[in-house]
Amino acid sequence: MIDDTTFWLLTIALGLGTFAIRFSFLGLLGGRELPEWALLHLRYVGVAVFPALFTPLVLWPDATSGDMDPVRIIAAIAAFLVGLRGSVIGAIIAGMGTFYALTIIL
């Protein structure tokens, strides 16, 4: 359970912080250029954060009380392989499709 104070504190801070990020250049900094090293690292934010988020969720899911589940691992690989071809929707369909198909078969 998430308590109310924690929730509102987080939501309001996250809302304001996210707006500040979105508004940053467009709103205040105008055409000012970021330093080269910052741009270099910012290019990798997505690929650095997302795998660190989904890896534990795939390997040790709460739904199985943290036990590894081959069905989930295979389905995750399927989603990834389809996603590599550039289709976000295809990846979701492949991942969930493989997951349900294997769950029914096994």
Q: Within 33-92, which residues bind another protein (CB under 8 A)? A: 34, 37, 39-63, 72, 75-76, 79-80, 82-89, 91-92
* Single-letter code of the amino acid located at 21: I
Binds another protein (CB under 8 A): choice among 31, 65, 67, 104: 31
Q: How far is the CB of 20 from another protein (least distance, A)?
A: 9
- C-alpha 54: how far from its chain's center? 6
Q: How far is the CB of 59 from another protein (least distance, A)?
A: 7
Query: Does 104 help bind another protein (rule: CB under 8 A)?
Result: no
* Single-letter code of the amino acid located at 70: P
Q: How far is the CB of 74 from another protein (least distance, A)?
A: 12
Per-residue b/e over 38-59, b at no fewer than 16 CB within 10 Å? eeeeeeeeeeeeeeeeeeeebe
CA pair distance 61, 67, nearest whole angstrom: 7
61 touches 73 (CB < 8 A): no
**Token pair for 99:** 């997951």
Q: How far is the CB of 12 from another protein (least distance, A)?
A: 7
Query: Does 14 help bind another protein (rule: CB under 8 A)?
Result: yes
Q: Which C-beta is closer to another protein: that of 47 or that of 105?
A: 47
